[in-house]
Amino acid sequence: MRTRTTGYLIAFIGLCLLLTTVAGRAALPLKVDGQELPSLAPMLEEITPAVVNIATEGRIQLRQNPLFNDPFFRHFFDFPDQPIERKTQSLGSGVIVDAKRGLVLTNNHVIANAVEITVTLRDGRHLNAEVIGTDPETDVAVIRIPSEDLKDIKTSDSDALRVGDFVVAIGNPFGLGQTVTSGIVSALGRSGLGIEGIEDFIQTDASINPGNSGGALVNLRGELVGINTAIFSQSGGNIGIGFAIPINLALDIMEQLLETGEVRRGYLGVYAQDLDADLAEAFGLKKQTGAVISKIIQDSPAEKAGLKPGDIVLKVDNKPVRSSSDVKNHVGLLRIGEEVKFEILRDGRRKTIEVKIAAPDGDTGRPVAVNQRLQGMTLGELESNHPLYGQVEGVVIAVVERGSPAWRSGLRAGDVITSVNHTQVKSVKEFLDEVNGKDETLLLRIVRGNTAAFFVIK
């Protein structure tokens, strides 16, 4: 009986304390037992000036029947003039990583097709930005703003991250303005998601929503560990699975863009596929891990080094391979001239083979069209790593300088030119023979993704 009475007394005292706490909620103590309450506020006050909002205004090509651009067809059918572009607007985020040079890291998809980029700082300043370079494969972009009174974020080694580390995401979700969320690193090295061409994501449950793209993922020391880029969601909103580009990768891409204005990826000549249960059994393997080399290009660096179809890739540069995407991602991040070490399994025996990354065949520098109408455009051959390889024949537009005549005409990097003035072109040489030194209007047929259209360059 005494025990029950004592229990009631303790419960009554607890209730009184709870009511007192609710009544005095507006005056919560800053310290408990002499210890300050934990807070991220001091760290955030230090770094949030380096996270910016990005607003873009751009133009995209409208899908249009190629016949509408044919002068012969238009002569006999009275078609009204139709706009071939429409304006777009988007909001995103960015991170100042070099205050002295005014360099801002963001996502390629935040500024894609933009003709005007406005960066808003936390102090309210609105600054016009110029594009230094973009890399759609990794979704990294670098822009520059005036470098007066800027603050940048110190970076950390993203390779040192561990699952379970606390992180904070800062960005501009839904255009609401700078917002902060927190969580943990829930996975590392995420790939095979189909979000980008090359994937090596940090996965986090810190809320990342539309507009957070390009924002900062920082550790509890306020050091930049990643650039927020995407979410996994069926509804379009956050469900606790967000992805960020590791800062080590983003900085490497940034340096290449600063050096050359583009990322030049090397050539290895290897095709690999996932090692599923059936393949593992057919190859006599107990574990379903690794990737199978399915094809080696003749005379490629891979063939010269000794790699063969049927080799099981276990590690690349001492990093375990779980799927074919691991091979693609790792090799895709290497520069021309670097060496990559393959640990393979062949006929039940482990073997290590080193392969030197080479420039694509015939790549001795990007050819430039000598034609005033195509100023600012550089070209490349249609290579095996292009999505349209094997489907069309033509010349790839490698780079189009923003604001150039080619840009204003609607041409974009990645487009494949299949004909000039109704003459089919299958190589850079054939294209240059058709356009160089000629002072006339050009009619180009362009293949872009799943669509094709004619562009008149005056």
Question: What are the φ and ψ backbone dihedral angles of 277, each rounded to 5 degrees?
Answer: -60, -40
Distance of alpha carbon 311 from alpha carbon 367, whole angstroms: 37
Report yes or no: 234 and 304 within 8 Å, Cβ to Cβ: no
Report yes or no: 273 and 309 within 8 Å, Cβ to Cβ: no
Eight-state DSSP code of residue 24: T
Eight-state DSSP code of residue 258: H
CA dist 223 → 70, 150, 154, 156 (Å): 56, 17, 5, 5
Q: Is 213 designated active site?
A: yes
Report yes or no: 254 and 140 within 8 Å, Cβ to Cβ: yes
Single out the catalytic residue among 90, 93, 135, 139: 139
Element (H, E) at 349: strand 349-356
408: burial class by Cβ within 10 Å (0-12, 13-18, 19+)?
Answer: middle
Single out the catalytic residue among 90, 93, 109, 409: 109
Look at residues 166, 142, 147 and name the one whose alpha carbon lies nearest to residue 214. 142
Q: Is 235 designated active site?
A: no
Single out the catalytic residue among 90, 156, 213, 325: 213
**Residues near 14 by beta carbon (within 8 Å), at least 6 away in sequence:** none
Q: Is 139 designated active site?
A: yes
Report yes or no: 441 and 454 within 8 Å, Cβ to Cβ: no
Report yes or no: 356 and 305 within 8 Å, Cβ to Cβ: yes
The tokens describing 208, both together, are 């990342």
Active-site residue list: 109, 139, 213
